[in-house]
Chains A and B, each alone.
Chain A
Amino acid sequence: ILNVEQSPQSLHVQEGDSTNFTCSFPSSNFYALHWYRWETAKSPEALFVMTLNGDEKKKGRISATLNTKEGYSYLYIKGSQPEDSATYLCAFSPGKLIFGTGTRLQVFP
């Protein structure tokens, strides 16, 4: 069974803090790694799709890196804001997407 693990499960930070979380996946048969942002009572929204080892993507204060050889991706948020509060999902693809259970981030003013 292929597993995608995200850590930590939840995170509480103060406004202005920078934070990061991890997505771990099997390092064989890699096609792609997706990150989604899921706000409460809304639907998941795509943040990044990464396909190459060493990929780095950035959208505003949020960035992600990818290491396919060791099987992990990091998501970074610089200067967290309350509106960043959400669950961040990663999904690994060895051909079809397998979702992790997410990291729930809460940013306090």
Chain B
Amino acid sequence: EAQVTQNPRYLITVTGKKLTVTCSQNMNHEYMSWYRQDPGLGLRQIYYSMNVEVTDKGDVPEGYKVSRKEKRNFPLILESPSPNQTSLYFCASSLKIPGQGAGYGYTFGSGTRLTVV
């Protein structure tokens, strides 16, 4: 089944304790992205990757890191989480850059609800 697998679904952690949220897709998609969803705001892009070893900042990259060593995996790393990073996070992938060209919608992962105390 074509999917984006994101883990964990729920995570409660303490301020400053490094964590990684994993994301893996099995559709050979070139483009992968991380978003956060906060109440009253639309999905905001954290980082994106257009292909292996090609990553770039989105709109809200502060406090996050990513890597794209293999095409299928795109982990999100919080080196020193803070309470303002408490949010719902989504990983998403697309065959090509979504929003450019016809038909390139996102497939989203199941989401990670992160609480930093």
Q: Which residues from chain A sit less than 8 Å from chain B, CB to CB?
A: 4, 31-32, 34, 36, 42-46, 49, 51, 89, 91, 93, 95-102
- Output the nearest chain B residue to A99 by Cβ-Cβ distance: B42
Whether the pair A46, B105 counts as a contact (CB closer than 8 A) is yes
**Majority secondary structure, B binding face:** loop
Contact A97 B107 (CB under 8 A): no
Residue of A4, A32, A93, A100 with most chain B CB atoms under a 10 A cut-off: A32
With an 8 Å Cβ cutoff, the count of chain B residues facing the other chain is: 24
A99 to B35: give the CA distance in the assembly, Å.
10
Residue of A nearest to B104 (CB): A49
Taking Cβ atoms with an 8 Å cutoff, the residues of B that contact A are: 4, 35, 40-45, 90, 97-111
For residue A51, which residues in chain B have a CB less than 8 angstroms away from its CB?
101-102
Contacts of A100 on B, CB cut-off 8 Å? Answer: 42
In the bound complex, how far is the Cα of B106 from the Cα of A49, in angstroms? 10
B42 in contact with A43 (CB, 8 Å):
no
A100 to B43, CA, bound (A): 8
**Is B98 touching A93 in the complex (CB atoms < 8 A)?**
yes
Minimal Cβ-Cβ distance residue in B for A45: B108
Q: Judge whether A44 and B90 touch: CB under 8 Å.
A: yes
Q: Which B residues are CB-close (under 8 A) to A89?
A: 42-43
Contact yes or no, B104 A4, CB < 8 A: no
Residue from B4, B45, B102 within 8 A of A96 (CB atoms): B45
**Does B90 contact A101, Cβ atoms closer than 8 Å?**
no
- B42–A4 CB distance below 8 A: yes
CB distance A34 to B108 under 8 Å?
no
CA distance A34 to B106 in the complex (A): 9
Q: Which residue of B lies closest to A101 (CB)?
A: B42
Given A34-B105, A43-B90; A98-B100 close (CB under 8 Å): no
Instruction: Give the distance in Å from the alpha carbon of A51 to the alpha carbon of B103 in the complex.
Output: 8
Query: Could you jot down 22 A-B contacts, CB within 8 Å?
Result: A32-B100, A32-B102, A34-B106, A43-B90, A44-B90, A46-B105, A46-B106, A46-B107, A49-B98, A49-B103, A51-B101, A89-B42, A91-B42, A91-B99, A93-B98, A95-B99, A97-B99, A97-B106, A99-B35, A100-B42, A101-B41, A102-B42
